[in-house]
Copies of this chain bind each other. A is one copy, B any other.
């Protein structure tokens, strides 16, 4: 069993077109995950993740903040305790609409 606190993991800037987004790779192949990766994102007030699409799914759990999730069907308000499944090839992004950080976990399958 491997264990640590999320604050022990480096908080990296996500490059543009992400805006004010940081990522911690909590669990991935580097610490021995065989199937999927756990990342913790922080989006500062006014920031957003890119509106984009990809083949792999996201499984998201919102920890803190006020935000909207954008999909082809429009915007949905999300906050602490929101759960999202972004399916393969769904266009999506997350916008921080509040005055404090938006924090969420986002898990993805590992490429094999």
Interface mask (A82-107 → B, CB under 8 Å = 1, otherwise 0): 11111110101000000000000101
Q: How far is the CA of A7 from the CA of B78 in the complex (A)?
A: 13
Tell me if A109 is interfacial: C-beta within 8 Å of chain B: yes
**Count of this chain's copies in the oligomeric assembly:** 2
If over half of A's interface residues share one DSSP class (helix, strand or loop), that class is named, otherwise mixed; here it is strand
With A1-B92, A33-B57 already in contact, the answer to whether A27 and B83 are too (CB < 8 A) is: yes
Name the residue of chain B whose CB is nearest to the CB of A90.
B1
Within 8 A of B (CB), among A36-78: 36, 38, 40, 57, 59, 61, 63, 69, 71, 73, 76, 78
Known: A6-B61, A33-B57. 4 other contacts (CB 8 A): A1-B76, A9-B83, A33-B59, A35-B109
